[in-house]
Chain A
């Protein structure tokens, strides 16, 4: 089955700096890669996603890149702000199947210091 590895487990940056979180996946059939943000005590919420027919996607300060050959994808946050502090999860899914199953990475705790 699919396995998703996420690094680093914790990341501390100064406000205004960039943050990068990396994930690798094992199943070449995976074709959908979302990123979820979970603030302390809250539910995970989708912040950006990318499909396997696209190599890069950007939404304001957040961007995601995908390398299908190497089976890895990354989240890039630029000009970080204290409110970006949260746990970030990557995930992988094979959407043409009939389960919609998401396999999550282990999570990265991002701390943005003011």
Chain B
């Protein structure tokens, strides 16, 4: 069973289009995240939801809008795509918050290419 899944795996689109990426986790975790990994491999947090509530909102253009219909799903919608949005987007989920760890489980990633 895939713990954290994302669709699609690859996304190629034209500048100016709107696209969505979906993420689902079956681990029973409360918290989910979106990360962007650029061409230099740098992993940067974008958003986080805990039980459908937005708890992290980094400095991200407002063209990016996350949506969490329930705690097992976190989708990412991107409006007016730009060349600089090309990257691999990873969804992740984590164990309930506690004092001892915050292991995050990553999805397989979505490679977005904007032409």
Contact = CB atoms under 8 A, between A and B. Distances in A.
A and B form one complex: yes
Given A32-B101, A32-B102, A99 B107 contact: no
Contact of A102 (B42, B50, B102, B107): B102
Interface string B20-57: 00000000000100000000111111001010000110
A87 B40 CA distance: 11
Contacts of B102: 32, 34, 93, 95, 100, 102
B103 A34 contact: yes
Identify which of B41, B94, B98, B99 gathers the most chain A CB atoms within 10 Å of its CB: B41
Task: Select the residue from A42, A100, A109 with max chain B CB neighbours within 10 A.
Answer: A100
Which bracket fits the contact residues of B?
20 to 34
Contact of A100 (B43, B97, B107): B97
Contact of B109 (A34, A43, A96): A43
25 contacts: A31-B99, A32-B102, A42-B108, A43-B90, A43-B109, A44-B43, A44-B106, A51-B101, A87-B41, A89-B43, A93-B102, A95-B98, A95-B99, A98-B55, A99-B48, A100-B31, A100-B50, A101-B45, A101-B56, A102-B102, A102-B104, A104-B43, A106-B40, A106-B42, A107-B42
Interface of B: 31, 40-45, 48, 50, 55-56, 90, 94, 97-104, 106-109
Interface of A: 31-32, 34, 38, 42-46, 49, 51, 87, 89, 93, 95-96, 98-104, 106-107, 109
